[in-house]
């Protein structure tokens, strides 16, 4: 009998954050081992909790969650998002420019699917949050990676980016603050993106899901605030800043000329209508307002706050391990250390994280899972409490002492 095969469309689609190494971790769990899972930025898994006002608004309004709602999202939630964007300096927008979805993930898919024709190219950072590359590939486009420069605190290399622009290029993806590097882009880099978008008439797709998770008083710049003429789609959501990843809620806002984007918006409208609407529970969470959540994340990232302290501890601990170097993250929830290739002779970074999992029962993601092309990095999520992080540091030091790939 013939085998039921997956679609060829998935041939080059890769999302290793929940890939084969995670499957190995699940097998270990079934055998009774307890695994420290540092593969996803999932705050509630580590004792962080969404704002109380969001939870209460869902509980108090359960009866309003039962029906389909407007495909772009309920107006009261989009009003809250609009106010927040206006406070951040976005201009010329109203609630019709805002789309709510089941996480930024769904909106990335909608935004890319509505844009890309077969063979169209989208410029994506390397390393990246791999959903971007996977989505462009699945939509029949070509993900073209531009370099982020580790020796410049992982800032994007705009010369490299420009060298990849062709007549098939449609858009540039910006992930800022960055997952997996924790880089926060300087104002001049954002202005550089804008200049390239103007010069080559490209769309900016700006993933800002970590925009309020900044350390050391760093500032986040949105391209849409610095340039209201360039067509930009800005993405954000509840998963990180509001610590509510399981609510599956995100939003995007379209800025720039409305007239030039009429057809594209029609495409987005078709896709939004096809899936009827985003989940309604999360829309009630947004309706409750952002101020409580903004204050809470503010407390976590200040010098004595839990996220700030944990960022320092993991950075200090991991950087001290012989054979590892690391750029200190300025934002987000991740550390992206570099392994000395010569010392450990690593040719397969996935095998490295698998070996580490088997020996230490700690789950990480290898660097190539983020479309980084050398087998010399891995990512650590620094959400777990301090004792666990210190245990991870000790385990890594101990593991690497004797590690050498054949
Ligand atoms: C940069 C980036 N964008 C998007 C997402 C997906 O977010 P959501 O939970 O809203 O789908 C993540 C999740 O880790 C992310 O790191």
Taking the centre of ligand 1 as the mean of its atom positions, its distance from the CA of residue 322, in whole angstroms, is 32
Atom of ligand 1 nearest to the CA of 17: 14
Q: Rounded mean pLDDT of 64-81? A: 97
**Atom 14 of ligand 1, nearest CA residue:** 41
Residue 16 banded pLDDT, cuts 50, 70, 90: confident
Q: So what's the pLDDT on residue 208?
A: 98
- Helix then strand then coil, % of the chain, to nearest 5: 45, 15, 40
Give the integer Cα–Cα distance in Å for 193 and 13: 27
Which SS3 state, helix, strand or coil, does residue 276 take?
A: coil
Q: Read off the pLDDT of residues 239-291 as tens digits, 9 standing for 90 and up.
A: 999 999 999 999 999 999 899 999 999 999 999 999 999 999 999 999 999 99
Give the integer Cα–Cα distance in Å for 297 and 140: 38
The answer to whether residues 272 and 110 touch, using CB atoms and an 8 Å cutoff, is yes
Give the integer Cα–Cα distance in Å for 272 and 282: 17
Q: Read off the pLDDT of residues 200-232 as tens digits, 9 standing for 90 and up.
A: 999 999 999 999 999 999 999 999 999 999 999
Taking the centre of ligand 1 as the mean of its atom positions, its distance from the CA of residue 129, in whole angstroms, is 8
Give the integer Cα–Cα distance in Å for 143 and 138: 10
Residue 88 banded pLDDT, cuts 50, 70, 90: very high
User: Mind listing the domains of the chain with CATH numbers?
Assistant: 8-49+301-400 (3.90.1150.10), 52-295 (3.40.640.10)
Element (H, E) at 122: strand 121-126
Q: So what's the pLDDT on residue 182?
A: 98
Q: Read off the pLDDT of residues 354-404 as tens digits, 9 standing for 90 and up.
A: 999 999 999 999 999 999 999 999 999 999 999 999 999 999 999 999 899
Give the integer Cα–Cα distance in Å for 193 and 179: 18
Residue 125 to residues 117, 146, 371, 372, Cα–Cα distance (Å): 20, 5, 9, 9
**Atom 4 of ligand 1, nearest CA residue:** 104
DSSP for residue 171: E
Work out the angle between the directed axes of helices 131-138 and 103-113 (0-180°, nearest 10). 40
Q: CB atoms < 10 A from the CB of 282, how many?
A: 28
Taking the centre of ligand 1 as the mean of its atom positions, its distance from the CA of residue 209, in whole angstroms, is 7
Q: Write the CB contacts of 21 (distance below 8 Å, at least 6 apart in sequence).
A: 39, 350, 353, 354, 357, 363, 364, 365, 366
Residue of 39, 111, 135, 240 to mutate, ligand 1, most atoms within 8 A of C-beta: 240
Q: Read off the pLDDT of residues 289-335 as tens digits, 9 standing for 90 and up.
A: 999 999 999 999 999 999 999 999 999 999 999 999 999 999 999 99
Q: So what's the pLDDT on residue 13?
A: 87
Taking the centre of ligand 1 as the mean of its atom positions, its distance from the CA of residue 41, in whole angstroms, is 8
Taking the centre of ligand 1 as the mean of its atom positions, its distance from the CA of residue 31, in whole angstroms, is 30
Using a cut of 0.95, tell me whether the model's pTM lies above it. yes
Q: Ligand 1 site: residues with CB under 6 angstroms?
A: 41, 103-105, 129, 175, 179, 207, 209, 237, 239, 245, 250
Select the more confidently predicted residue: 12 or 72. 72
Give the tokens for residue 67.
């029906």
Burial class of 7 by CB neighbour count within 10 A (0 to 12, 13 to 18, 19+): exposed
- Nearest Cα neighbor of 307 from 105, 47, 54 is 47
Residue of 131, 132, 251, 334 to mutate, ligand 1, most atoms within 8 A of C-beta: 131
Taking the centre of ligand 1 as the mean of its atom positions, its distance from the CA of residue 344, in whole angstroms, is 32
């Amino acid at each position: 009998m013939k085998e039921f095969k997956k679609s060829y469309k998935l041939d080059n689609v890769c999302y290793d954050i929940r890939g084969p190494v995670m499957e190995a971790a699940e097998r270990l769990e079934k055998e009774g081992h307890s695994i420290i899972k540092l593969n996803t930025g999932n705050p509630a898994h580590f004792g962080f909790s969404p704002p109380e006002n969001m939870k209460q608004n869902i509980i108090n309004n359960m009866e309003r969650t039962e029906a389909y709602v407007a495909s772009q999202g309920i107006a009261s939630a989009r009003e809250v998002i609009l106010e927040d964007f206006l406070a951040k300096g976005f201009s010329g927008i109203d609630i019709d420019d805002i789309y709510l979805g089941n996480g930024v993930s769904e909106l990335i898919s909608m935004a890319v699917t509505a844009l890309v024709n077969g063979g169209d190219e989208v410029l994506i950072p390397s390393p990246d949050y791999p959903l971007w590359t996977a989505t462009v590939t699945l939509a029949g486009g070509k993900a073209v990676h531009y370099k982020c420069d580790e020796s410049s605190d992982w800032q994007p290399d705009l010369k490299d980016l420009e060298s990849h622009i062709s007549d098939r290029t449609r858009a540039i993806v910006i992930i800022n603050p960055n997952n997996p590097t924790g880089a926060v882009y300087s104002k001049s880099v954002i202005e550089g993106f804008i200049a390239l978008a103007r010069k080559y008439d490209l769309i900016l797709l700006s993933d800002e899901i970590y925009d309020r998770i900044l350390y050391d008083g760093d500032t986040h710049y949105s391209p849409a605030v610095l340039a209201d003429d360039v067509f930009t789609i800005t993405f954000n959501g509840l998963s990180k800043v509001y610590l509510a990843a399981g609510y599956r809620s995100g939003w995007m806002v379209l800025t720039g000329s409305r007239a030039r984007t009429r057809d594209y918006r029609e495409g987005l409208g078709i896709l939004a209508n096809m899936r009827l609407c985003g989940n309604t529970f999360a829309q009630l969470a947004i309706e409750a307002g952002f101020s409580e959540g903004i204050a809470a994340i503010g407390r976590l990232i200040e010098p004595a706050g839990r996220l700030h302290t944990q960022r320092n501890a993991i950075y200090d601990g991991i950087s001290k391990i012989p054979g590892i170097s690391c750029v200190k993250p300025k934002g987000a929830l991740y550390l992206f250390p570099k392994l000395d290739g010569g010392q450990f002779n690593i040719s397969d970074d996935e095998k490295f994280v698998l070996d580490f999992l088997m020996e230490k029962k700690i789950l990480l993601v290898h660097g190539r899972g983020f479309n980084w092309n050398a087998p010399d990095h891995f990512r650590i999520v620094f959400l777990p409490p301090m004792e666990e992080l210190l245990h991870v540091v000790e385990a890594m030091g101990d593991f690497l002492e004797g590690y050498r790939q054949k």
